[in-house]
Structure 1
Amino acid sequence: MPNGTPTRITQGTRITRGAIAKGGIGESTLRPDGALKVTGEFAYASDMWHEDMLWGHILRSTVAHAEIVSIDTGEALALPGVYAVMTYDDLPTEVTHYGLEIQDTPVLAHGRVRHHGEPVAMVAADHPETARRAAARIKVEYRDLPVLTDEASALAPDAPCIHDNRTDDHAPHVPHPNIVHRQPVRRGDVREARRRADVIVTGEYVFGMQDQAFLGPESGLAVPAEDGGVDLYIATQWLHSDLRQIAPVLGLPEDKVRMTLAGVGGAFGGREDLSMQIHACLLALRTGKPVKIVYNRFESFFGHVHRHPAKLRYEHGATKDGRLTHVTARIVLDGGAYASSSPAVVGNAASLGVGPYDVEDVDIEVLALYTNNPPCGAMRGFGAVQACFAYEAQMDKLAKQLGLDPVEFRRRNAMSQGSLMPTGQVVDSPAPVAELLRRLKALPMPPERQWESSEGTDVRQLPGGLSNTTHGEGVVRGVGYAVGIKNVGFSEGFDDYSTARVRMEVVAGEPVATVHTAMAEVGQGGVTVHAQIARTELGVAQVTIQPADTRVGSAGSTSASRQTYVTGGAVKHACELVREQVLERGRRTFGASHPAWSTAELLLEDGRVVTDGGEVLADLVDVLGDEAVEVEREWRHRPTEPFDRHTGQGNGHVQYSFAAHRAVVEVDTELGLVKVVELACAQDVGKALNPLSVHGQIQGGTTQGLGIALMEEIVVDPRTARVKNPSFTDYLIPTILDTPTIPVDVLELADEHAPYGLRGVGEAPTLSSTPAVLAAIRDATGLELNRTPVRPEHLTESQDCWLPDIAG
C-alpha cells in the first residue's frame, strides 16, 4: 500500500492465502458462550464449587489514612467454624507488596492504611456468614493521619508522603514524592504561535471518577495441591501478570502456581489489578483446604481500581480562517493511594491530549498524584477519555468564536495519514477523521417530538422517562459532535507480545484444529475470533478453543484494544506455521502424484488441499494421518519506544484508532432532565473480522461513554476521603431505558502493519460519546457545562456554584 493511500477492505475480499472458510474471517459468527450467558447457564467464577471448601472474607479499613495501632484477632479465632485469621504479620515471605508497574501495594495493610476500604486482615471459615461475622470481631485501633484528597493538599510543602522512600524508576524525574508519574509533551514554539492566533479560548474541566461496574463481582477459588503448590481459578484480565505478582508473595516458583481463567462477568480494566487472588491462595495454603472468595457489590466497589478523576486546563488558538495555531494543557489525574497503571494512563493522556488534529505547536503537562482517595488505574480508553472530554469542548468553543460550523471546523484541522503527532510520531496508517465526521453529518436526524402519537404521549420517549415528570413542556433539542483518537496495544517500549499453540489432527475421521492461548475472555469475543482465524488459515470447519490458563505462554492483558491484534496475530502466525508443516507433509507423501504439489501456492480449504485454481490434490485427513501437527509461537507487533521524559518525543504507540459520535438529546430545561435520543457512531476498524461483534463493541463503548456523561461517578467525601456511594442504588449506570438508538457506520480502511489490516475497536467509542452528549446538552441549554457527569442541578442552577474539587 503506497504511503498516504488508504486501501479499503470490504467484507468478502480475499485477504489470506487460504480461502475464507464458512465461519471464517469477515463473517458474523455467533459467540459460543452467548446463549449460555443470556439463559443464565454460563458458569461464572462466582459459581465455582469444591468439596470441603472454605469461604474467605477480607476485613477492610473504615478510614482513609491512619496509623494502625493494634490488631486483635482473638475473638475472631474463637468463633466456631473459623479455620484461619491472617494479618500482615502472618505473611509467609519477605515479599509483601505487589503492583502492575510499581510494587507499592501491600497484600495486607502494615503500619498504616492509605485509603478507605484497604485490606487489613482476612478470615477463612466453613460458611460465608461465619467468615463475615469473624471479620467483624477483629478489633483494629487506628490513629488518624492527615487526609490528602486533591492537588493542593497532596503537593503542599508540609504534606506527608503517601509512600516513604520511593525506589521505583518513575521517581527521579517527578518534583514531589506524591506525584506518581509526570509526562510533558512539547513541540514547536507555543509563545510564537500565540502571536499568530486570531482567537484564543481557555477552559477548565473536571472529570469524575468512574467505576467499571462489571456485573460479575470479583471471585476466585484457590485449591492447595499435593506438591505444595496451588491451583487458582480466577476471573481476571491477565493470567500471567497475576502469576508474576502472586508467586513471590506465596514463596513459590511460578510453576507451582497454576492459574486457570474462570468465567468472567465483565472487566473494562477493573480486573487488570489483583483483587483477592493472593488472599485466597494464602488462606488455602494456611488451612490446607480449598478457599473461595466472592465479593458482594459493596466490597467490589472497594476491591478494584477505578477510572482516574481529572482536572484539565486547556488553551487553544486558531486563525480567523479556522486553522489551529497551538494547544497548551495541564492535566492532573488523581491516582489515589497506589500506583496501579497510573504511569501508562499519564502517557496516554499526554501523547493523545491534542486529539486527532494537526497542530504544530504544543505544550502539554500531565501528572498523576498519590492521594488518600480510592486507587485508580485502567478503565476502557484510559487517559484518552479524560483528555477527549476537554479538547472536544475546546473545539466547540473555538468554532463558536470563529462563527464556523463545529463539524467543518474539526474537518479543517483533522489529521490524516502522514500527519505528525505531538510526540513526533508519523501516523502511517489511515486516519479518516474528516471522513468519519462527514458521514455523521450526512446521517438523517431522528424525528422531532417522538413522544407524540395518535394514541397520546409516550412518556418513555421524554426526559424523565417512566417517572412521568413532563409531557413535553420546556423540552429543547440539542445536537453535538465529537471525535477522538486512541492508541491500540501497550506502548512506550513495552514488550507487548502474545503466545498461541495450535494443533491440527484427525478426530473421528475429521480434521480438527485446537487453539490454546492464555487470552482472558472477558466478553470481548476473542474466543469467537480465534476460531474464525483458524478456519480461515487452516481450511477446517471444526475448531476447539481450549480454556485459558498458564500452561501456555502469556497472551498479555485483555485491555488496550490489543487482543484481536496481538493474540489474534499470534493465532494467525501459529496457524500459518501449522499449514506449512501440513503442506510439507503432503508434498512428501503425495508430491509425485501431481506436479502442482511443488508450488508454493497450495491452499487448505474445506478440509482439502487445493491449488490456487481450486483443483483438489488431497483430503486433509489423508495428509495428516495418525500424527498431529502442533506449533506454539510468540508473536510481536512492531516495536515502540519510551517517550522522552522532558519533551515527550518518541514513537510510543503501535497503532491509532478513531471514532466519532453525533448525539441528539432532548432536555427539559425547567427540571434539568436529559433524554439521549440518538448517539450515532462512525468508526474505522481496519477490517471487521466479525461484523456483529464489532457493532456490539462500538455500541457497548458508546453506552459507557453515555454513563460518564450523565450519571456515573464515585463520590468521595473531600474531607475524609470516604466513598459515599458504593452500591448500585447510589452509583447509577445506564439501563436499557437510558440507552438510545445507536446507529453504527463502520469503515474498513486497512492498516498494512496489522494482521488482516485490522484496527483495535473496543475503546475508541468510549472517548467521543461523552463529549458528544455534553456538546448536545450545551447546544440545547446554552450552558458551559465543564464537568462530568451532568446532573439535573447543573442544568437549573448557577454554573459558578458547582465546580467541585477533584475528589468532590
Structure 2
Amino acid sequence: MGVTRTPTPTTQGSETTGGIGESTLRPDGVLKTTGEFAYASDLWHEDMLWGHTLRSPHAHAEIVSLDVSRALAQPGVYAVLTYDDLPTDVRHYGLEIQDTPVLAHGRVRHHGEPVALVAADHPETARRAAAKIRVEYRQLPVVVDEATATAPDAPLIHEGRTDHHSGHVPHPNVVHRQPIVRGDADAAARRADVIVTGDYEVGMQDQAFLGPESGLAVPAEDGGVDLYIATQWLHADLRQIAPVLGLPEEKVRMTLSGVGGAFGGREDLSMQIHACLLALRTGKPVKMVYNRFESFFGHVHRHPATLHYEHGATRDGKITHMRCRIVLDGGAYASSSPAVVGNASSLSAGPYVIDDVDIEALALYTNNPPCGAMRGFGAVQACFAYEAQMDKLAAALGMDPVEFRRLNAMSQGAVMPTGQVVDSPAPVAELLRRVKAMPMPPEREWESAGGGVDVRALPGGLSNTTHGEGVVRGVGYAVGIKNVGFSEGFDDYSTARVRLEVIAGEPVATVHTAMAEVGQGGVTVHAQIARTELGVTQVTIDPADTRVGSAGSTSASRQTYVTGGAVRHTCQAVRERVLELGRAKLGTHHPAWATAELLLESGKVVTDDGEVLAGLAEVLGDEAIDIEREWRHRPTEPFDLRTGQGRGHVQYSFAAHRAVVDVDTELGLVKVVELACAQDVGKALNPLSVVGQIQGGTTQGLGLAVMEEILVSDRATVRNPSFTDYLIPTILDTPPIPVDVLELADDHAPYGLRGVGEAPTLSSTPAVVAAIRAATGLALRRVPVRPENLTGT
C-alpha cells in the first residue's frame, strides 16, 4: 500500500514520544487481532439472566391479540414483558423524533419490530419461550415507495403527527423535506450548450459491523440500573432510556463496553431499554446479545434512494446549472432521517462551482426497514449521482473526465448552494491531479511468464470461472465532498476531564471522556494530545461512561475534531494551572515564569526556546490537578426551510479516487484491481490510523458499488438477513489501496485537522462504477452493480 504525505507545521511541537503527528500504535490493536479483546458480547455477571426479543414476521399488521401465558409457564422463565407492562407513560423514544415504541402497540410498522421480551436462565430457554408467545396479526396494506406513500388513499405510517417537521411537509408520510434554491436555474439552463439528465438509484446498505448488538443491565441497590453497552453515544442513549424506565438520569449509569464496529448502526437504541426493563422487573442482571440474523432487524441501515439530476454546461466546459430531486426511504421510524435529508440536499451539487441550483431532498415514512445513520450520511447517495453526471457531461463535451472536474472544482472561498462560504482549503483540483498521476497497476496480471493463468487475479477469482476470455479493463475517477460534525444549528460539543499527578516520582496524565471507541482509534489520539500538550509520557485513558459530560456521538467524522478539541482545551487549562503552581511554589526568579510562553515537554517546564525551568514532579509535588471542560466549535445555523440558505456545516472534507477494474463482459463478473485515493486531512494526528480510516472507508464504498444490498420483498420483508446472503468485501475482494495524504491545515480546527473517516466512502463507489462503465460501455445507473446488469440477463 503506497503512502505519501505532504506535511505542514504543527501548532505546537513536543519532544515527548507518542505525540501528535506520530504513528503511535493502538493499545487495543493486538488484543483485537489475537481475539483477546473483550467485546460487549463477552460480558458476564454471576446469576445473570438472558434476554430475548420476539419480533414481528410482518411489515405492517394490526395486533389482534397477544397471549404470553405459555411463555410464562416455561421452566426457567423469569419475566415476559409487552407494551402494557411498561412502567411509565413514556413509551416511545427516538434520536430526534420520539416516534419509536419501546414495544409494538396496536400494530407493527416494519418487519422485525419488537413485540415482547423474555428473560430466562439460559439463552435457549428464552428463545423457546418467545416462540410460545401467541400473537394474532391482521396484515395491512404496505407502503413501500413514494407512489404508495403519497397516494391519496395511502395508509398513514404515523397518524396524527405533531413533530417539528410535520408542519412543512407535503404529506404526513414525508418525514422531512429540504429545498435549496440559489440563483436562477431556469435562466442558466437557457445559456447551456449541453444538458444531460439522469435517474439513479442506490440500494439499502447495512453497516455490517463485526460485533452484534449486546449489553448487560445490572439492577442496583438504590433502585437504579448499571448498563454496560456497545453504543456510539452514551449520553443520547441515556436521554432516551431514563424517561422510559421512570428514573432520573443519575440512576441510569452507563459504561461503554467493547464495541465491534458501528458505522452509524449504533446511534439508535437497540436492546438498551429492553435489557434494563427486564433487569428491573426481575431484580437480576440481564444480558442480551443479538445473533447475526436478529442484528439485521435490530439496527437502522443506509437509506435507499432514487435521484433525478440535470446539469448543463457551456462548450468550454463550465457548468451552468444543476437541478436535482432526491428521495430517501426512511422506513417505519424517523431515526436521523431529517439530518440525512439536510446532508443530501446541501451536498448534492458536489465539490463544484455551480452558481444556479434548484434542489429538493426528502425522506419518506414507509413500512420498509428503518434507515438512519451510516458512514457518509446522505452524501454517499448524492455523490453516486452527481459523479455519474460529471462523466456524462464530459463525454457530451468531448473532454477528459478528470480535466472537466478540475475545471469546475471548488477551492477555498467558493460558495456552496446554501450560500455558505468554504473558508478553509478545498484542494479538489489538486486531489484529482494527484490521484490521476499515481502509477497505474500492470495489465493482465493473471498471466505468468510461462503462459499459465493465476485465477486469483481474474474476475470470479478462485471460483475459476474464466481464464481471461472476454476480460476488459476500465478506469474511472470520482471526487466527493462531506461535512464534518453535526450541522444545522445543533449544539455540537464535547467534554473532557484531565487529571495530572505524580505517581512513583513520575508525572502521569489521566484522560476521561464519554467518547465511544468503536474502532476509529480515538483512545490513541487522546493519549497523543495529552502527551503533546502536557509533556508527559505516561497517559491513562479512563473507560468511557456517563460520570463525565457528553462527548457526543462517534459519527459525522467529528470525534477527533470535537472530543480531541475538548481534550486539548482541557489539557491547556491543566497546563496553565501547572504554571500557576510553579510560579507560586518556585518563585519567578527567572523572567520566563512571568510570561505565557512556557511549555511542558518531556516532564519538564521549559521556555519557548527549550530552557528547562523545573521538572513537573517538582512543581506538582503531592498535588493533583483535575479539570473538566466543555469545548465547542464554531456555531452553525439551520437551513431556511424555503430557500435552504444558511451556514449549516462546521467543516468540509474532500477525497478523490481512481478505480481500475477488470470485467468479464460475458459472465458479468468484476475484479477491482486497485482503488487509489488522495485525501486532504488537514493534519494527520496519527498518520497510520489516518491511512487505515481511508482504506476502510474506501472498502465500504467498494461494497456498495458491487455487492452490498439488503433486499426487501414487495411485502416489505427482509429477504437476506445473514452474511450468507448479504455479501460484504473479504480480503480477497479488497484490492491494493494506495493513499496519498495531503495536509492543508484548517485554521479553524484543533491542530488544523480535518475529519477523515467518511469522505473516502463517498467517492470510491462512483469511481468503481465509472470504471465498470468504461470497460463495458453500459449506463449503469444503479448500485450495487449486479452480474445481470452487465450481461443483459
1:238-387 alignment runs, 5 A limit: 238-387=233-382
Matched letter for residue 271 of structure 1: R
- Distance (Å, rounded) in 1 between the aligned partners of 2:609 and 2:551: 37
The aligned residue for residue 537 of structure 2 is 541
**Partner of residue 459, structure 2:** 463
- Partners of 2:213 and 2:697 in 1: CA distance: 21
In structure 1, the residue matched to 2:708 is 712
Structure 2 partner of 1:204: 199
Query: 2:147 is matched with which residue: 152, 160, 168?
Result: 152
Q: Does 1:428 align with 2:423?
A: yes
Q: Distance in 2 between matches of 1:195 and 1:608?
A: 68
Q: Distance in 2 between matches of 1:618 and 1:641?
A: 46
- Paired with 1:781 and 1:218, the residues of 2 have a C-alpha distance of 41
- The aligned residue for residue 579 of structure 2 is 583
Judge conservation of contact 2:8–2:743 (CA < 8 Å) in 1.
Answer: no
* Cα-to-partner distance string for 1:514-573 (whole Å, 9 max, x where unaligned): 000000000000000000000000000000000000000000000000000000000000
Task: Report if aligned partners of 1:511, 1:620 keep a CA contact under 8 Å in 2.
Answer: yes
Contact 1:610–1:617, Cα closer than 8 Å, also in 2: yes
Higher mean alpha-carbon deviation, 604-613 vs 224-233, is at: 604-613
Show the counterpart of 2:697.
Answer: 701
What pairs up with 1:654-733 in 2 under 5 angstroms?
Answer: 654-718=650-714, 720-733=715-728
1:10·1:687 contact (CA, 8 Å) conserved in 2? no
1:166 and 2:132 matched: no
Quote the residue 2:400 is aligned against.
405
Match of 1:563 in 2: 559
Q: Does 1:494 align with 2:490?
A: yes
Tell me by how many angstroms 1:9 deviates.
10
1:769 aligns with 2:772: no
Q: Secondary structure at the match of 1:694?
A: helix
Would you say the 8 A contact 1:19–1:603 is kept in 2?
Answer: no
What residue in structure 2 maps to residue 613 of structure 1? 609
Q: Write the letter of the residue equivalent to 1:760.
A: G
CA shift at 1:508, angstroms? 1.2
In the aligned structure 2, how far is the partner of 1:312 from the partner of 1:9? 36
Deviations 1:359-383 (A, max 9, x none): 0110010000000000000000110
What corresponds to 2:225 in structure 1?
Answer: 230
In 2, are the aligned partners of 1:220 and 1:232 still within 8 Å (CA)?
Answer: yes
- Match among 16, 35, 39 for residue 40 of structure 1: 35
Structure 1 residue 14 displacement after superposition: 4.1
SS of equivalent residue, structure 1 residue 233 = strand
In structure 1, which of residues 546, 549, 552 is the aligned counterpart of residue 548 of structure 2?
552
Conserved? CA contact 1:521–1:527, under 8 Å? yes
Match of 1:510 in 2: 506
Could you give the per-residue CA deviations for residues 102-132 of structure 1, whole angstroms, max 9, x where no partner exists? 0000000000000000000000000000000
- Residue identity opposite 1:28 in structure 2: S
Q: State the match for 2:590 in structure 1.
A: 594
Instruction: Quote the Cα distance in structure 2 between the aligned partners of 1:144 and 1:511.
Output: 66
Give the match's secondary structure for 1:58.
Answer: strand
Q: 1:770 to 1:636 in 2, by over 3 A?
A: same
**Equivalences, count:** 789
Q: TM-score, normalised by structure 1?
A: 0.97
Q: State the partner residue of 2:631.
A: 635
Deviation at 1:19, TM superposition (A): 2.4
Counterpart CA distance in 2 for 1:591 and 1:421 is 54
Structure 1 residue 597, shift from structure 2 partner: 1.7
RMSD: 1.0
Q: CA deviation digits over 1:644-703, x for unaligned, max 9?
A: 001100000000000000000000000000000000000000000000000000000000
1:221 paired to 2:213:
no
Which of 419, 440, 443 is matched with 1:445 structurally? 440
CA distance in 1, matches of 2:657, 2:266: 28
SS of the residue aligned with 1:793? Answer: helix
Distance 1:547 1:596 in 2: 38
Q: Which amino acid in 1 is paired with 2:216?
A: L
Secondary structure at the residue paired with 2:328?
Answer: strand
Residues 145-184 of structure 1: per-residue CA shift (max 9 Å, x gap): 1111011001100001100111110110001000000000
Say if 1:9 and 1:687, in contact at 8 Å, map to a contact too.
no
Give the fraction of aligned pairs with identical amino acids, expressed as a percent.
84
Structure 2 CA distance, aligned partners of 1:270 and 1:600?
A: 45
Q: Distance in 2 between matches of 1:607 and 1:773?
A: 50
- Equivalent position SS for 2:782: coil
Cα distance in 2, alignment partners of residues 10 and 699 from structure 1 = 18
- Paired residue type of 2:458: L
Matched letter for residue 648 of structure 2: G
Q: 1:418 to 1:592 in 2, by over 3 A?
A: closer
> Partner of 1:83 in structure 2?
78
CA-CA distance at 1:454 after TM superposition:
2.2
Distance, in Å, in 2 between the alignment partners of 1:134 and 1:725 is 25
Q: 1:241 to 1:20 in 2, by over 3 A?
A: farther
AA paired with 1:165? G
Shift of 1:20: 4.8
- The 8 Å contact of residues 588 and 594 in structure 2, kept in 1 or not, is answered as no
Cα displacement (A) at 1:11:
4.5
User: Shift in Å at residue 599 of structure 1?
Assistant: 2.3
Aligned-partner Cα distance in 2 for 1:13–1:796: 52
- Consecutive unaligned residues in structure 1, runs of 5 or more: 1-7, 799-808
Q: What is the aligned partner in structure 1 of residue 44 from structure 2? A: 49
Deviation readout 1:314-373 (Å, 9 max, x if unpaired): 000000000000000000000000000000000000000000000011001000000000
Whether 1:651 aligns to 2:647 is yes
Task: Find the partner of 1:784 among 779, 782, 785.
Answer: 779
Given candidates 522, 527, 541, the residue that maps to 2:523 is 527
- Is the 1:667–1:780 Cα contact (8 Å) retained in structure 2? yes
